[in-house]
């Protein structure tokens, strides 16, 4: 393994940097800007069983040190992802990709994961039980240990590839949910998804986004991510993928010290489309600065 390499659920990554779902499309859009094969991997756009148009507009609200989004899992549905999106991706990305899956019933998650599990390009299934901006789905599973475990078990029954459960920070006890997922067979945990936020337009006296509330992301949530990654990594015996407000190489190192095996970068991609490439390029100098020989060796190094 190289200095930057890590092993995520049995698959070696050249580096731990993973663009987060919802901020990198299906990859080929960013491939027009730079060679995305420099990435460890990426988590593609959240995919559901059936096509979704998403929430009504406006869907985005600016915030200090962040943003709120309520896109609502707009995607073409799993069949078109398999028949149209993955073939386009294959032309520009030669590594395993992380498939991000959402659902509105346990059966939806199982169906979509079973279909994607059969795709040679897919290396991991990131099962999102934590979406805060969709009515009637997603986060309702991620805020309850029993419900999260039920989704985990159902997906594991129909898949062969590593299943990573993506958890919500909008809970009082993140550890109990993570442990329930581990007990149900999860191969990894990813966190944190966005916090629930809201903005009000002072001129109209109405919410800025049509959905009223949405997912708050960006630099401001980074300390929450560090805390929750640390708590979960010290409570489970499976890998943790950390994310939440990451925008620099130093942020990556901090989350890995907290216990993350790999690190997803989300909102930063929307500010700077070269963010992940730049972080990867900056990592060796940051490692030298802090006398780090290998990233694999610092995982969970904060005690």
pTM of the model: 0.95
HSE, side-chain direction, 13 A CA sphere, residue 68: 23
User: pLDDT tens across 218-246, in order?
Assistant: 999 999 999 999 999 999 999 999 999 99
- Alpha-carbon distance 194 to 198, whole Å? 12
57 part of a folded domain = no
59 part of a folded domain = no
131 is catalytic: yes
User: pLDDT tens across 125-184, in order?
Assistant: 999 997 544 444 445 677 889 989 999 999 999 999 999 999 999 999 999 999 999 999
Q: Does the N-terminal peptide bond of residue 62 adopt cis geometry, omega within 30 degrees of 0? A: no
Residue 37 burial class via C-beta count within 10 angstroms: exposed 0-12, middle 13-18, buried 19 and up: exposed
Asked whether the beta carbons of 49 and 178 are under 8 A apart, the reply is: no
The mean pLDDT values, 10 residues at a time, for the chain of 303 residues are: 95 98 94 98 95 84 89 90 97 98 92 98 94 49 87 97 95 96 98 93 95 92 98 98 98 98 96 97 98 98 91
1 part of a folded domain = no
68 part of a folded domain = no
Asked whether the beta carbons of 269 and 245 are under 8 A apart, the reply is: no
Q: What is the reported pLDDT for 131?
A: 57
Count CB-CB contacts under 10 A for residue 284: 14
280 part of a folded domain = yes
Q: Which helix (DSSP H) or strand (DSSP E) does residue 278 occupy?
A: helix 275-289
User: Per the structure, how many domains does the chain have?
Assistant: 1
19 part of a folded domain = yes
3 state SS of 132? coil
What is the residue range of 240's domain?
6-52+73-194+217-298
Catalytic residue among 131, 181, 276, 302: 131
DSSP secondary-structure letter at 131?
-
154 part of a folded domain = yes
Q: In what order do the strands lie in the sheet with 240-243?
A: 17-19, 262-265, 240-243, 188-191, 163-166, 122-128, 97-101
Q: What is the reported pLDDT for 141?
A: 77
Residue 23 phi, psi (nearest 5): -120, 0
CATH number of the domain enclosing 170? 3.20.20.70
208 part of a folded domain = no
């Amino acid at each position: 393994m190289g200095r930057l390499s890590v092993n995520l659920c049995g698959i070696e990554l050249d580096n731990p940097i993973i663009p987060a779902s919802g901020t990198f499309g299906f990859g080929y859009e960013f491939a027009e800007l730079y060679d995305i094969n420099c990435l460890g991997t990426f988590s593609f756009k959240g995919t559901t069983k059936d096509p979704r148009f998403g929430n009504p507009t406006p869907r985005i609200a600016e915030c200090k040190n962040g943003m709120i989004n309520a896109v609502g899992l707009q995607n073409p549905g799993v069949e078109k992802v398999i028949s149209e999106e993955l073939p386009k991706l294959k032309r520009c990305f030669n590594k395993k990709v992380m498939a991000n899956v959402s659902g509105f019933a346990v059966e939806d998650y199982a169906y979509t994961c079973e279909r994607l599990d059969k795709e040679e390009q897919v290396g991991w299934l990131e099962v999102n039980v934590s979406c805060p901006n969709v009515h009637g789905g997603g986060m309702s599973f991620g805020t309850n240990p029993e419900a999260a475990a039920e989704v985990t078990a159902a997906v594991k029954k129909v898949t062969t590839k590593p299943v990573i459960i993506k958890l919500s920070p909008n809970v009082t006890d993140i550890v109990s949910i993570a442990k329930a997922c581990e007990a149900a067979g999860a191969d990894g945990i990813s966190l944190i998804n966005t916090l629930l936020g809201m903005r009000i337009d002072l001129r109209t006296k109405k919410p800025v986004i049509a959905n009223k509330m949405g997912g708050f992301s960006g630099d401001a949530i980074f300390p929450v991510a560090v805390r929750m990654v640390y708590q979960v990594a010290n409570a489970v015996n499976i890998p943790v993928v950390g994310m939440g407000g990451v925008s620099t190489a130093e942020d990556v190192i901090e989350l890995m010290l907290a216990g993350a095996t790999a690190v997803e970068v989300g909102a930063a991609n929307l500010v700077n489309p070269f963010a992940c490439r730049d972080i990867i390029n900056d990592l060796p100098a940051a490692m030298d600065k802090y006398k780090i020989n290998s990233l694999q060796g610092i995982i969970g190094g904060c005690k």
